């Protein structure tokens, strides 16, 4: 018999690894749980996406896809794909640029060249914990689309637990990648419409 949990307390969390998550997914055990992330070994259900977030995510996806085509790049753009950043971290970023190869399981972090999170209600976590996780995972460049602030916060040069360089670009201005030569997008589509 297990140890009883006192009233008013929560049971301890059961932490799993990225490998265990992949095994559960391969067996179909997570089929009824869409939009899951593994955060520090804990499975977390993601919030629903409403229109402001969805429109910004689509605008960034389209702008990056179009810019990569103009450059003739072999890199691709993905949305809502799982990225394995560490043994206990498998986030579900909004958009990312990578040299994805066919295979099973999440995209390895070392294949990701640029990662984007759209923040409407998640700004604190995207600028805090997620920024640290992505830097520690070696993601070369990270953008946070701050819908309330009407800016894109750009981070690059991952080092010991954080990014060494950062800048902000207001919506409506040209945004140039710090790590992908020639990659530029116009952020005008991120501005709130009527």
Three-class SS of the chain: CCCCCCCCCCCCCCCCCHHHHHHHHHCCCCCCCCCEEEECCEEEECCCCCHHHHHHHHHHHHHHHHHHHHHCCCCEEEECCCEECECCEECCCCEEEECCCCCCCCEEHHHEEEEEEEECCCHHHHHCHHHHHHHHCCCCEEEEEECCCCEEEEEEEECCCCEEEEEEEECCCEEECCCCCCCEEEHHHHCCCC
pLDDT of residue 194: 41
The pLDDT value given to residue 127: 97
pTM for this entry: 0.89
pLDDT of residue 4: 62
Model pLDDT, residue 102: 80
* Closest to 81 in 3D by CA, of 36, 138, 143: 36
Predicted local confidence at residue 6, as pLDDT: 67
Residue 5 Cα distances to 1, 10, 12, 114, angstroms: 12, 8, 9, 44
Give the chain's residues under pLDDT 50.
194
């Amino acid at each position: 018999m297990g140890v009883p949990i006192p009233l008013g307390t929560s049971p301890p969390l059961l932490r799993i690894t990225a490998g265990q998550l992949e095994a559960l997914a391969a067996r179909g055990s997570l089929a009824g749980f869409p939009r899951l992330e593994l955060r520090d070994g804990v499975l977390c259900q993601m919030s629903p996406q409403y229109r402001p977030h969805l429109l910004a995510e689509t605008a960034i996806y389209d702008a990056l896809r179009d810019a990569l085509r103009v450059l003739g790049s072999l890199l691709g753009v993905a949305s809502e794909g799982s990225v394995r950043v560490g043994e206990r971290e498998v986030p579900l970023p909004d958009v990312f640029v990578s040299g994805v190869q066919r295979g099973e399981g999440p995209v390895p972090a070392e294949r990701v060249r640029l990662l984007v999170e759209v923040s409407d209600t998640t700004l604190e976590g995207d600028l805090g914990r997620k920024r640290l996780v992505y830097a520690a995972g070696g993601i070369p460049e990270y953008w946070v689309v701050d819908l309330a602030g009407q800016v894109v916060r750009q981070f690059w040069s991952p080092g010991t637990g954080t990014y060494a360089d950062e800048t902000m670009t207001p919506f409506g201005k040209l945004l140039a990648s710090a790590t992908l030569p020639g990659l530029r997008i116009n952020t005008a589509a991120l501005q709130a419409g009527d």
